[in-house]
Amino acid sequence: MVKYPKVQIHKFENLNMKLKLLILLLLPAFVLTAQSDPTPPVAPPAPAAPPVYTGKGKSKSPRTYKLENDGTQFAAGIRADDLKPLVFALASDTMLGRETGEVGQQIAAQFIAKQFKDAGLPPKGDKGYMQKIMLQSATWKDIGIKVGEQEFKNRTDFFVFPAFSPDIPLTEIKELVFIGYGIEDPKYSDYGKAEVAGKAVIFYNGEPISKDGISLITGNEFRSNWSLDWRKKVQLAKKKGATAVFIIDTKFEESLQKNRKAISAYGWKPVGSDPEAIASDYIPSAFVSPALAKAILGDKANKVESELADLREGDKFKPVKVKNKIEFRLDKETKLLEGSNVLAVIEGTDEKLKKEYVFVTAHYDHLGSPDSTVIYYGADDKASGTSGVIEIARAFAEAKKAGVGPKRTVVCMLVSGEEKGLLGSKYYTEFPLFPLEKTVVDINIDMIGRVDERHANNPDYIYVIGSDRLSTQLHEINELVNSEHTKLELDYKYNAKDEPNRYYERSDHYNFAEKGIPAIFFFNGTHPDYHRPTDTADKINFDALAKRAQLAFYVAWETANSPERIQPNVREEKKPIEKGN
């Protein structure tokens, strides 16, 4: 589990503050997608709160069908005696605390891959059993825009996305062309005959919307891809030979807030497998405030306004040439970190349903060994969950060998990068190997090997988090299989929406839930050894670990074999797509 929630909240002082916070958190994610936000898919802004269970969603009884096989014989194979050597190996000195990007993590990844191989499962990652993940952290040695003699500041007057910026210490600009919205579509072009090679271009964010709220590109109230993906415009400008791009953002302050994570140069972010190549696809580009735009346009600012008004009226638009002396500095220093996710894929047996995917996840990375005197073993966090997922993969492999494999494809994925901010699962959901829209559920196992103080008298419990946030069916299936098989005490204490620890946002399922995929999260609660070198294998309760892993297995078994896929049925009501700029 990652140590700090994205926004750390201590005690709510009073109801008023709680309400304010709730309003803040509920700023819905879909507004982000509907607007013309400069939000690159690989580095999205801090997520809004997930949809909250309202209790309104109606679900069918989860059992209107009968499973041919209830999985009991395979669940029985998930045993304390098999889990024990796995936990001891993963939490051993050899694995050095499994820090992402370090040698211990690589050893752990190989170890996990070997378990999958020994179980007879085929390699289905992009590199054997692995999905290579690349994380980037960029810092600016120098960044700035100077118009004439006036210096403008990053994140005050303009902002850039480091992941989509080339490293070009100085671009000198003498001529610019204002080209409306910077769009060229089969039936619409802002460029016309404008010659932009060797010059910079400046245009508005979004796309032209008429007074009646109709997009001039799509001809209806829905926006085109030009609004949804600003990078398309930058790539077009590059293709036309432009040297730099300035995007005028009329909602500059709002965008600055929304994108504060993605535009920050600090912290690790998932990037594609070749970040250098990605950056070189771009020319220097910046989102600029209306004030900076005015400085850039100089005495042509009024002309630009009137041309823009014509454009919106559907009248003839002419690009406006601008002469000005501008320096654009992007001097970047990039660090890369490579990790891997390890996958076991049990292909479904039903011709149709095998194209749907049931995910079982846990992270295998931990905090490593910051110096030679100490190792953060991470036995509970999360050699316990990792071992559980390995055993679940084995159980499914056994079922398949016995001729009763799951109808849907089951993917058991162990991710890294979690302790650095849920980055392995973030990477997976940004660069998925299987279609996300066909991904039915994520069953995420966190620390499941210890017993917390609250349950000192009954080790047969588990905290269940998130099961009802997106799908009441998932919630009911978990309760049903538990009542039939594992009979653990299901504790929903940490599932409360105003729970100050915000565990729901602190493990890998959250990245799946953010994509609208129902997710359930199993967790044993905290203990004094949490995130300390004393989180060691000898303290694990292997009987409890086995039972909890069995519960996760049964949920996977049911969701992989039910005739109908479980549906997200408790989404907040969708807002209509916003109109206008």
Between 1 and 265, CB nearer to Zn ion: 1
Helix axes 385-401, 103-118, angle to 10 degrees: 20
The 153-182 site mask, x for binding Zn ion (CB under 5 A), equals ------------------------------
Query: How far is Cα 504 from Cα 7, in angstroms, rounded to an integer?
Result: 12
Structure token digits, residue 555:
């949920």
Local structure of 317: helix, strand or coil: coil
Beta bridge partners of 489: 461
Q: Which residues contact 435 (CB under 8 A, 6 or more apart)?
A: 357
Between 158 and 364, CB nearer to Zn ion: 364
Between 318 and 532, CB nearer to Zn ion: 532
Between 133 and 288, CB nearer to Zn ion: 133
CB of 368 to Zn ion, least distance (A): 12
User: Residues 361 to 390: which contact Zn ion by CB under 5 A?
Assistant: 381
User: Residues 10 to 29: which contact Zn ion by CB under 5 A?
Assistant: none
Between 124 and 382, CB nearer to Zn ion: 382
CB of 418 to Zn ion, least distance (A): 7
Query: How far is Cα 288 from Cα 204, in angstroms, rounded to an integer?
Result: 10
CB of 2 to Zn ion, least distance (A): 6
Query: How far is Cα 227 from Cα 218, in angstroms, rounded to an integer?
Result: 11
First to last CA, the chain: 40
CB of 503 to Zn ion, least distance (A): 11
Cα angle, residue 297 at apex, residues 291 and 300 outer, rounded to 5°:
125
Are 38 and 255 in contact by the 8 Å Cβ rule? The answer is: yes
CB of 440 to Zn ion, least distance (A): 27
CB of 348 to Zn ion, least distance (A): 32
Between 381 and 442, CB nearer to Zn ion: 381
Question: Which residue carries 């269970």 as its tokens?
Answer: 53
The secondary structure of residue 50, as a DSSP letter, is P
CB of 530 to Zn ion, least distance (A): 7
The 79-108 site mask, x for binding Zn ion (CB under 5 A), equals ------------------------------
Beta bridge partners of 336: 136
CB of 556 to Zn ion, least distance (A): 23
Between 356 and 446, CB nearer to Zn ion: 446
Give the count of residues interacting with Zn ion (CB under 5 A): 2
Between 184 and 365, CB nearer to Zn ion: 365
Select from 1, 244, 410, 517 the one that contacts Zn ion (CB under 5 A): 1
Which amino acid type is present at position 386? T
Query: How far is Cα 228 from Cα 329, in angstroms, rounded to an integer?
Result: 27
CB of 5 to Zn ion, least distance (A): 12
Q: Could you please report the per-residue DSSP string of 234-257?
A: HHHHHHTT-SEEEEE-TTHHHHHH
Structure token digits, residue 37:
């936000």
Query: How far is Cα 271 from Cα 293, in angstroms, rounded to an integer?
Result: 30
Distance of CA 376 to the CA centre of its chain: 26
Selected range binding Zn ion among 1-9, 52-60, 190-198, 434-442, rule: CB under 5 A: 1-9
Structure token digits, residue 512:
């799946």
The 399-428 site mask, x for binding Zn ion (CB under 5 A), equals ------------------------------
Between 420 and 455, CB nearer to Zn ion: 420
User: Which positions lie near Zn ion, rule CB under 5 A?
Assistant: 1, 381
